[in-house]
Amino acid sequence: MGARHGKDVIQRLRDQPSELWHRGRRVADVTREPGLAGGVASLAELYDVQWAEPDLMLFDSPSTGDKVGRSFMIPRTQAELMSVGGAMLRWSRHTFGMMGRSPDYINRAISAYAGGADFLGQADRRFGENARRYHEHIRENDLCLTHTLINPQANRSVGPARQADPFLAARVKEETDAGFVIKGARMLATLPISDEIMVFPSTLLKATEEDAPYAFGFALPNATPGLKFLARETLDYERNHYDHPLGSRFEELDAVVIFDDVFVPWERVFLYRDVTLANQAYAATGAVVHMSHQVVCKNIAKTEFILGLVSLMIDAIGIESFQHIHEKTAEIWVALETMKAFKRAAEVDAAPNAFGVMTPAWDPLDAARNLYPRTYPRLVEIVQQVGASGLVSMPTLADVNGPMGDAIQKYYQAARVDALERIPLFRLAWDTAVSAFGSRQVLYERFFFGDPVRMAGAVFQSHDRKPYMEMVREFLLRSLQDTNDDLTRFEGEPAAAAT
Ligand SMILES: Cc1cc2nc3c(=O)[nH]c(=O)nc-3n(C[C@H](O)[C@H](O)[C@H](O)COP(=O)(O)OP(=O)(O)OC[C@H]3O[C@@H](n4cnc5c(N)ncnc54)[C@H](O)[C@@H]3O)c2cc1C
């Protein structure tokens, strides 16, 4: 089949509906469901974008020669890796990074698992083969995945085995010759409006028998019997694009995933009951690095959007002469250049990993994923500081076209734009910085890649700071030596030597 068009995406979601629950009802067709259909349409658009720019977005399948999505590539050269980065940036720009879970995010994870299949095959050769075959399957059918890594937030002071119910967190219930059965829940899966789900652990498990039933990695169609998605309430206010420009388009949705005795066939399994491999899989296969590559592209697109938005707001209401406005604009620009530099450094310093997969440099991407959860909330704060009451005073399309239209034309004009231009701009700023959709974007950026506190802990533990410590220690020793020399010169008595 090869790369899909948007209509194929819509058709498949209609043909293979998953069990998605929303506001107390099972959704019959996500492509037509009010509050969800806008996000589905944007997802489908991404697949049309890839055919609008095939040279950038597609490459020749190594198995069939058909055109397939570039984010499925297992890069062997730096040029190939950079081409993946180019395609991911293009997709991110299409949604201004507001659909963080564009399909390339998990495509990169599965591509890394396939590239590092020998790692997964250590415990059981079949698991490595499964990863390779599954990657080919989703690449050739251009499938779109959601994923879930985190156990339910019930009692974080103990692991999954010590919760009130051992089947609160998804757990292996029984094993057969054909596969195993999973029971329990996982949170959270963004983009449940997709074709398949990747289930992996992310929080570290203890290498004990009690944690082993929670250690597994597999992928299944979303329409698998017993697999239920309990979606949060939509943040699309179900109105027009004028009133709700972002939320009406880019609602990717989040859902808790419930496994109600879900059968997982062996051929879909990549990891099973091996806590050590489960804890290492992300890092050892490079999946976390390739996913972070997508993340930095999303960060660039999102920051470009904020810079453009704030600049238009400044211009519209004539606040360009105030110094703090310059400072705030410069802050956004610096954030953008920082993200661009991280992406570039990661690509330029890329190197083949143990499996010969060209892998972006980790340090700049690790820095990006630690910085942006702090940057994005600040960018949204700047939108609020620049927009002030303008963010909460904009009328709706119905007001503009209604009996108050003439008054609106007069009272909503701005320094450089008339009311009809100013209102959509400030509604866009409202949807970025005030609406429920905008608020969820901030929460997303704070947490989607993990708890920032524990990510900082990982930086503290894993990055080598010794060369810098040595540098400062040498300086201190040199200072002491200089002091001794000075004292000898001026007083004839050396200071006490360091021991
Ligand atoms: C909008 C959104 C979308 C998401 N999408 C996905 C997705 O698609 N797939 C997916 O798998 N996950 C997704 N996530 C989940 C994300 O990975 C988690 O939010 C993140 O890992 C933090 O875990 P938690 O939410 O369970 O927070 P918790 O672990 O419950 O933390 C709650 C609070 O307790 C603190 N805390 C808890 N344990 C510790 C500890 N050991 N040490 C120090 N402090 C601690 C945290 O710092 C935090 O302040 C998403 C999250 C959000 C908000």
DSSP structure string for 109-156: HHHHHHHTHHHHTTT-HHHHHHHHHHHHHHHHHT--EEEE-PPPSS-T
Of the pLDDT bands very low, low, confident and very high (cuts 50, 70, 90), residue 493 is low
State phi, psi for 241 to the nearest 5 degrees: -65, -25
Mean pLDDT (whole number) for 278-296: 96
Q: Is the pLDDT of residue 431 over 70?
A: yes
Ligand 1 centre distance from Cα of residue 451 (Å): 5
Q: Give me the pLDDT at residue 254, please.
A: 98
Top pLDDT among 484 and 197 is at 197
Strand partners, 21: 26, 230
Q: How far is the CA of 214 from the centre of ligand 1 (A)?
A: 18
Question: What's residue 492's pLDDT?
Answer: 62
Tens-digit pLDDT profile for residues 26-54 = 999 999 999 999 999 999 999 999 999 99
For range 209-229, the mean pLDDT: 96
Distance 152 CA to ligand 1 centre (A): 10
Beta bridge partners of 180: 175, 264
Cross-strand pairs, 257:
186, 229
Supply the mean pLDDT for the chain: 96
Distance 97 CA to ligand 1 centre (A): 20
- Cβ density class 436-471: b for 16+ within 10 Å, e for less: ebbebbbebbeebbbebeebeeeeeeeeeeeeeeee
The percentage of the chain sitting over the pLDDT mark of 90, rounded to a whole number, equals 93
Interstrand relation of 19-22 and 227-231 (parallel, antiparallel or unpaired): parallel
| CA of residue 450 to ligand 1 center, whole Å | 6
Given a cut of 80, is residue 322 above it in pLDDT?
Answer: yes
Ligand 1 pocket, 223 CB below 6 A? no
**Residue 276 in this model has a pLDDT that exceeds 80:** yes
Q: How many helices (H) and strands (E) does the chain have?
A: 17, 14
Q: Position 427: which residue type?
A: R
Residue of minimum CA distance from atom 27 in ligand 1: 451
Closest atom of ligand 1 to CA, residue 151: 26
What is the model's pLDDT at position 490? 73
Predicted confidence band of residue 496 (pLDDT cuts 50, 70, 90): low
User: For residue 486, what pLDDT band results from cuts at 50, 70 and 90?
Assistant: confident
- Going by CA atoms, what residue is nearest to atom 50 of ligand 1? 448
Tell me what pLDDT residue 14 has.
98
Taking 90 as the threshold, does the pLDDT of residue 485 lie above it? no
> Whose alpha carbon is nearest atom 38 of ligand 1?
156
Measured CA to CA, the distance from residue 472 to residue 482 in angstroms comes to: 15
pLDDT for res 394:
96
Instruction: Supply the pLDDT for residue 204.
Output: 73
Atom 46 of ligand 1, residue of closest alpha carbon: 451
Place of tokens 């993946």: 84
Site to substitute for ligand 1 among 105, 155, 156, most atoms within 8 A of C-beta:
156
Angstrom distance (rounded) from CA 260 to CA 270: 21
Atom 30, ligand 1: residue with shortest CA distance: 153
Asked if residue 444 has its Cβ within 6 Å of ligand 1, the reply is yes
**How far, in Å, CA of 428 to CA of 441, rounded?**
14
Instruction: Tell me the three state secondary structure of residue 43.
Output: helix
Q: Is the CB of 151 under 6 A from ligand 1?
A: no
For the segment 437-458, the average pLDDT, to the nearest whole number, is: 96
Name the 3-class secondary structure at 190.
strand
Over residues 287-310, the mean pLDDT reads 98
pLDDT reported for residue 499: 46
**What is the percentage of the chain residues whose pLDDT exceeds 70?**
98
* Single-letter code of the amino acid located at 142: D
Half-sphere exposure of 373 (CA within 13 A, CB side): 18
Task: Give me the sign of the Cα torsion angle 332, 334, 340, 343.
Answer: negative
- Residue 202 CA: nearest ligand 1 atom is 11
CA distance 371 to 446: 10
* Centre of ligand 1 from the C-alpha of residue 153, in Å: 8
Over 80: is that where the pLDDT of 374 sits? Answer: yes
Model confidence at 495, pLDDT cuts 50, 70, 90, reads low
Q: Is the CB of 451 under 6 A from ligand 1?
A: yes
Reported as a single tens digit per residue, the pLDDT across 97-142 is 999 999 999 999 999 999 999 999 998 999 999 999 999 999 999 9
Hunting for tokens 């953008």 — which residue is that?
A: 336
> Tokens 């059965």 — which residue?
181
pLDDT band (50, 70, 90) for residue 177: very high
Residue 304 beta carbon below 6 angstroms from any ligand 1 atom: no
Average pLDDT over residues 472-484: 92
Judged by average pLDDT, the poorest of 178-187, 198-207, 398-407, 426-435 is 198-207
For every residue of 330-371, which 3-state class applies, written as one string?
HHHHHHHHHHHHHHHHHHHCCEECCCCCEECCHHHHHHHHHH
**pTM, whole model, 2 decimals?**
0.96
Q: Is residue 254 within 6 Å of ligand 1 at its C-beta? A: yes
Where residue 293 falls among pLDDT bands split at 50, 70, 90? very high
Atom index in ligand 1 nearest the CA of residue 449 equals 17
Q: Is the pLDDT of residue 497 over 60?
A: no
User: Which of the residue ranges 56-65, 82-91, 156-165, 350-359 would you say has the lowest mean pLDDT?
Assistant: 156-165
Cα(157)–Cα(340) distance, integer angstroms: 38
| d(C-alpha 204, C-alpha 275), whole Å | 8
In this prediction, residues 314-325 reach a mean pLDDT of 98
Q: Is 194 in the pocket of ligand 1 (CB under 6 A)?
A: no
- Examine the pLDDT at 11 and tell me if it is beyond 50: yes
